[in-house]
Structure 1
Amino acid sequence: MIKSSQKALNDLASIDREVETLTVSVTKLNDTQKEQRNELRMRIDELQRRRIELSEPRAFREVSAMFG
């Protein structure tokens, strides 16, 4: 159970770092790079949804039940 909780926390930290990096990248892109900017925004949205899923208590209970 402790390992799965630690993994979830590590995943959250990793997601936070990637979102921050991608957000900076998006703000640096100009209008001629709209497609790339949109792709980065979609990835940010995907990561933020995953982060919410990981931080919900239900997710922690489900992970604990699987491994504990």
Structure 2
Amino acid sequence: MSAPIVIHRPSPTGGRRVTVRGQIAGLAHDDHDVTEFLRQAGLPNAEQFLDDPSWVEWRGGRAHQYEAA
């Protein structure tokens, strides 16, 4: 089973697309943006999930880095 939250590779212009259960949540430029998207999706304590691989999959780049690819 894959993680329900995917933080995709950094874009060429910066930021990372975030999907929750296959639905695009938005473009994050930092961890605060990610936690806000997750709160909007119904996860009130979202920051605790960012480093849990059963919840979040970081693709194509280092976790917590949002600079342009």
Q: TM over 0.5, yes or no? A: no
Give the TM-score normalised by structure 1.
0.23
The answer to which structure has the higher helix fraction is: 1
Higher radius of gyration, 1 or 2: 1
Give the TM-score normalised by structure 2.
0.23
The answer to which structure has the higher strand fraction is: 2
